[in-house]
Structure formats: C-alpha cells, structure tokens
C-alpha cells in the first residue's frame, strides 16, 4: 500500500519508506491519505500520519469532482465502508472537522447509498487490481454502512459528542417510518420458492425492497396485531448495534390489513449452522466459535444496558451474516426493566433447554426474574459452541430426562412434557449439562479448558443471583478468545516428515508456507 502511495506521487523510495510529501495532491485531486482511507488500510494511513500529521485533514481538490471536492480521508473511509479507518481517524481529528455533511453521510442510509452508487469515482482501485468489488452486493453494502455507522457513533462518544445530534434539524438516524407496501417485491404468497421460517409466535418471509435489497418480513401468527406493534416500538427505541438485527420499519398489506416488520435479511442462523455445517462452509474452529460466543454476549450486554431482557435467546434467534457475524433477532417476547429491577410475567411453554430454571411454568405461577435469564441461555449456547455435540447437546440429558429410540417423541417434546407435568424435574438440567460436558469439549489447553468449564458452570447456576453479569460474561469470553490466539502463536510450527529420495533422484524442495490469510472456519 505504501509503495502504491509513493508511486502516485511520482517519487522513488525504498519499500515501506514514508512518502516525502503525504500532502501532495495528484492531478485527480486526491492525496495518498485519501487512497489509504478508501482502501481501508489503517496501517498505511498510520504511516502517512507519522510522516505528516496534518495529512489526515487534507481536503480533496477540485479535480476530484463536484461530489467529492472537499472530502477528507474521514469522508473517504465512511463512504467506502472502512470502519477500522473511521475508528482510527476519529481518534485523531479535531471535533471541528465533524461537519454536517460528514454526519449525514455516516448516519443516513439514503445519503450513503447515493454516494455508494458513485463509488467508481472514488480512488479505491478495487477492480483495477483484478479483485471483485465487495460492495457490488447491495446486502454487503448495507452491512458495511451499518458497521461504519456504529464505528462513527462510538467514535463520537469517545470525543464527548452527542450521538443524538446526528443530522441537525432532522430526525435521528434510527427513526423508522411506514414502509410502502408497493416498495416490497417478492411479497409473501408470491411464487418465489422461498418458504417461510416459522417461529413460536410468528413467521418470517424473505422479500425484496425497492427491487434490490433483500429484507425479512415478519408477522405474528399467535396473539394480537398489537404484539407486533409492541415489538416494533421496542426495536425502534434501540440505537443501531453491530450484533442486533437492523429494523427498517413496518409495512401493512392494504388488502388484508396485515402488518409486517421489515428487517435486514440474513441467510443463516446458529441452529442451521450447527445442524448442517458442511452446507455452510465446514466445521467451525474453536476461535470462530468463541468469536460467535463473544459477539452474542456483546449483543446481549447492549440490550441489558438499554434495559431490555430478550427472554428467548436460543440458536434459532442468533442470525449470522455471510461472514458469520452475530445478529440477534426476535424481540417478540422481550421486556424492558429498570436497572436492577425484576419482571413478573407469565412465560408460556418454550423449549426448556435454553429456559432458565426460574422461568419454568410452575403450575401457572409467575416467579420474578431478572436479565440473568439471558445469561443462563447464553451459557447453554456456550456449551453448544465449545463442545463437539453442537445441536445434539440434548444427548447429555439422557437417560435422566429424555430417552431416544423408535416410537418415542422428539427430545424437545419430551422436555415440554416434563415442563407441564413435572417442572421440578427440570431443575437438574443445568447440572447434567455441566457435569457431562467435559468429555465432549473441543480440544483445548488444560487451563483454557478449566476456564471454559468454569464460565459455563457459573452461567448455568440454579441461583440467578450467583450468575455473572453479562458484562462479566463478555470480559471472560474475550479472555478465552485471547488465550486461544496466544496458545496458537506459542505452539511450535509442525514440520513435515522428511521423505527419503529414491536412488539417483534429488530431494524435492520443501512445500511453500501456508498463506497468511485465515479462513473463519480455521481453529
């Protein structure tokens, strides 16, 4: 990257040396700092900044065109979806550089989308080096926008600026409106060949918005239409977050007066990944599993920090993007609670595997509970992620709670039966999971193994007051992930066995080293 920037300036220099003048504008109106920002190279931008700190504030020249003249590297990073560079620059620039046009670009999808359609005029050089432009896909572009918007908001917070002042004189970036039904194509009921995904209280269809953006449409099938409106109101009250499914709005079919939530569409959920990993890229390595656990905990921590208890955390409600990033969904039975407060509501009969003991339906009673119920559910998913059983974690409940075999009901129906007929028996469920888990854990160093088991045991405590807070869960899960990375770096590289050469033939050269880029499915 640095050598590319040097070439742009027409100067000769040894590889890695900073350019003599990072402030130099090319004939196209761009400086090397703009190229580094557009390319998403935080390292190259850091090199340029060390050479000339003021380069990060340089405005593009008139030759860049009317649309982009005056763009700073921060504008470029936002427009190109370079969240890492956005974070870097917001830690360096003065608050006076946070202008109205920059705020609008970073927080308004309509504005970002308008620039996205003109991205060929930005100095990105993606196709020039023979690579496919990752932003050609509209869904990927929207995900990039959301990631940049979150990085921008967090950067403003660190600068002490209010994120509520997103667009002065206008609504906040996360205000939602009625989506015109006419803007939805591939509507539910059309012959699209896309079956609905059914949940406990509703169903979700894939559709298309404005003929280009894949969206998820959700309606309620059990309960009142007001339940959907309450879910909409709760989701609308939350600012965007990387690990929460984005809400676009609500729409109504005029012919049936059926209301639908309009949300981002994601192609996969954790349950389907557990059930058929080979259809989705292969078995996950331990590092990726822990990343998923961390991101799920971060999303739940965000909800708890805004007074929301999800109450239905399970693999089906953990959506995954194409690059396997967590997006929590389904807030149909979520509730708000004051910090440190308790809830006291009837729960209904949900799958007891992820249901905290204090939520079990004890003969129509309404036990009080807190957001510790989400910690418990996270703990069960953590057991699934760190074990080799995954979706078959229910096997640890045999024969004490369930029995498998021909003629017997599925395992989840057996647990639901116990929930109705003998709810007290389910209090042994968390102990069965924790006690039987060790032989099925993924291979890991002994210290890491004990730390993982300790975290699972604490989250699955029968006493909700003894469970860690979600902030503590995030901290401990991140520590596990760091330990895995450290153990991989410390492990000696495997040497291929020596191969004897046949008489009269020379030894073959050693194989080339593996590529530096890692697949998310590697351990």
Q: Is 442 helix (H, G, I), strand (E, B) or coil?
A: coil
Q: Which architecture characterizes domain 2-158 according to CATH?
A: Alpha Horseshoe (1.25)
pLDDT of residue 490: 66
Q: What pLDDT, on a 0 to 100 scale, did the predictor assign at position 142?
A: 79
420 vs 416: CA distance, rounded Å: 6
Inter-residue contact 79 to 40 (CB < 8 Å): no
The tens digit of pLDDT for each residue in 480-495 reads: 999 998 877 666 554 4
- SS3 state of residue 319: strand
Asked if residue 60 lies in contact with residue 69, where contact means CB atoms within 8 angstroms, the answer is yes
Q: Tell me what pLDDT residue 508 has.
A: 43
Task: From first to last of the 523 residues of the chain, give the pLDDT tens digit.
Answer: 445 444 444 443 333 434 444 455 666 788 889 989 988 888 888 888 888 888 888 888 888 888 888 899 999 999 998 999 999 998 888 777 788 778 888 887 778 888 888 888 888 765 444 556 766 777 778 778 888 888 888 888 777 664 443 333 323 333 446 788 888 887 775 534 455 565 567 889 999 988 778 899 999 887 777 889 889 989 988 888 889 999 988 999 888 888 999 999 998 999 999 988 777 667 889 999 999 999 999 999 999 999 999 999 999 999 999 889 999 999 998 998 876 678 776 654 468 899 998 887 555 566 788 999 999 999 999 999 999 999 999 999 999 999 988 889 999 899 989 888 888 899 999 999 999 999 999 999 999 999 999 999 999 999 999 999 999 999 999 999 999 988 776 665 544 444 444 444 444 444 444 443 343 333 4
Can you give 463-482 as a three-state secondary structure string?
A: CHHHCCCHHHHHHHHHHHHH
The pTM assigned to this predicted structure is 0.63
CB 303 within 8 A of CB 326: no
The pLDDT, as a whole number, for residue 522 is: 39
pLDDT digits (tens, 9 = 90+) for 385-399: 999 999 999 999 999
Q: Do domains 2-158 and 177-264 have the same CATH topology?
A: no
Instruction: Pull the structure tokens for residue 266.
Output: 């994601």
Task: List Cα–Cα distances, 498 to 492, 494, 508, in angstroms.
Answer: 17, 12, 10
For every residue of 424-439, DSSP letters joined together read GGGGGHHHHHHHH-GG
Under CATH, what is the fold of the domain 177-264? Answer: Phosphorylase Kinase; domain 1 (3.30.200)
pLDDT of residue 119: 81
Q: Is there a contact between 105 and 112 (Cβ–Cβ < 8 Å)?
A: yes
Closest CA to 240 of 248, 250, 229, 230: 248
- Residue 341 contacts residue 369 (beta carbons within 8 Å): no
d(C-alpha 129, C-alpha 376), whole Å: 49
pLDDT at 240: 85
Handedness of CA 38, 41, 47, 50 (dihedral sign): positive
Distance (Å, whole) CA 519 – CA 523: 9
> Domain 268-486 belongs to what topology?
Transferase(Phosphotransferase); domain 1 (1.10.510)
The residue behind tokens 């949940």 is 199
- The residues, ordered by sequence, that sit 6+ positions from 119 with a Cβ below 8 Å of its Cβ are 79, 80, 133, 135
Domain boundaries, the chain: 2-158, 177-264, 268-486
């Amino acid at each position: 990257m640095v050598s590319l920037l040097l070439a742009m300036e027409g100067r000769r220099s040894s590889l890695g040396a900073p350019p003599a003048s990072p402030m130099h504008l090319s004939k196209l109106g761009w400086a090397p700092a703009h190229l580094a920002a557009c390319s998403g190279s935080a390292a190259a931008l850091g090199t340029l900044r060390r050479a000339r700190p003021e380069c990060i504030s340089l405005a593009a020249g008139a030759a860049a065109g009317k649309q982009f003249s005056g763009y700073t590297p921060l504008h470029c990073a936002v427009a190109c979806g370079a969240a890492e560079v956005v974070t870097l620059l917001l830690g360096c620039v003065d608050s006076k550089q946070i202008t109205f046009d920059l705020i609008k670009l970073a927080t308004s999808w309509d504005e970002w989308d308008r620039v996205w359609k003109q991205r060929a005029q930005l100095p990105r050089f993606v196709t020039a080096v023979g690579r496919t432009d990752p932003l050609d896909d509209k869904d990927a572009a929207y995900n990039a926008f959301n990631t940049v918007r979150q990085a921008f908001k967090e950067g403003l917070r660190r600068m002490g600026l209010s994120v509520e002042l997103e667009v002065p004189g206008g609504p906040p970036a996360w205000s939602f409106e009625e989506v015109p039904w006419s803007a939805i194509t591939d509507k539910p009921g059309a012959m699209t060949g896309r079956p609905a995904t059914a949940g406990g209280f509703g169903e979700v269809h894939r559709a298309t918005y404005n003929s280009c953006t894949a969206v998820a449409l959700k309606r309620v099938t059990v309960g009142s239409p007001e339940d959907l409106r309450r879910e909409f109101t709760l989701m609308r009250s939350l600012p965007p977050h990387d690990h929460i499914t984005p809400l676009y709005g609500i729409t109504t079919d005029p012919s049936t007066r059926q209301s639908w939530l309009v949300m981002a569409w994601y192609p996969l959920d954790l349950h389907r990944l557990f059930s058929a990993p080979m259809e989705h890229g292969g078995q996950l390595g331990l590092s990726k599993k822990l990343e998923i656990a961390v991101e799920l905990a971060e999303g739940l921590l965000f909800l708890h920090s805004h007074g929301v208890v999800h109450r239905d955390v399970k693999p089906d409600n953990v959506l995954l993007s194409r690059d396997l990033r967590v997006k929590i969904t389904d807030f149909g039975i979520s509730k708000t609670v004051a910090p440190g407060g308790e809830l006291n509501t009837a729960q209904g009969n949900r799958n007891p595997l992820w249901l905290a003991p204090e939520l079990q339906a004890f003969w129509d009673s309404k036990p009080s509970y807190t957001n510790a119920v989400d910690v418990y559910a996270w703990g069960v998913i953590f057991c699934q992620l760190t074990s080799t059983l995954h979706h078959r974690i229910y096997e640890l409940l045999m024969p004490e709670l369930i029995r498998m075999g021909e003629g017997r009901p599925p395992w989840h129906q057996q647990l639901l039966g116990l929930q109705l007929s003998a709810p007290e028996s389910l209090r042994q469920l968390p102990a069965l999971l924790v006690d039987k888990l060790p032989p099925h854990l993924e291979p890991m160093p002994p210290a890491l193994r004990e730390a993982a088991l300790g975290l699972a045991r604490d989250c699955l405590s029968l006493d909700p007051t003894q469970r860690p807070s979600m902030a503590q869960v995030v901290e401990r899960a991140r520590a596990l992930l760091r330990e895995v990375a450290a153990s991989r770096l410390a492990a000696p590289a495997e040497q291929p066995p020596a191969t004897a050469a046949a008489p009269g033939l020379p030894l073959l050269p050693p194989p080339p080293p593996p590529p530096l880029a890692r697949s998310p499915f590697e351990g």
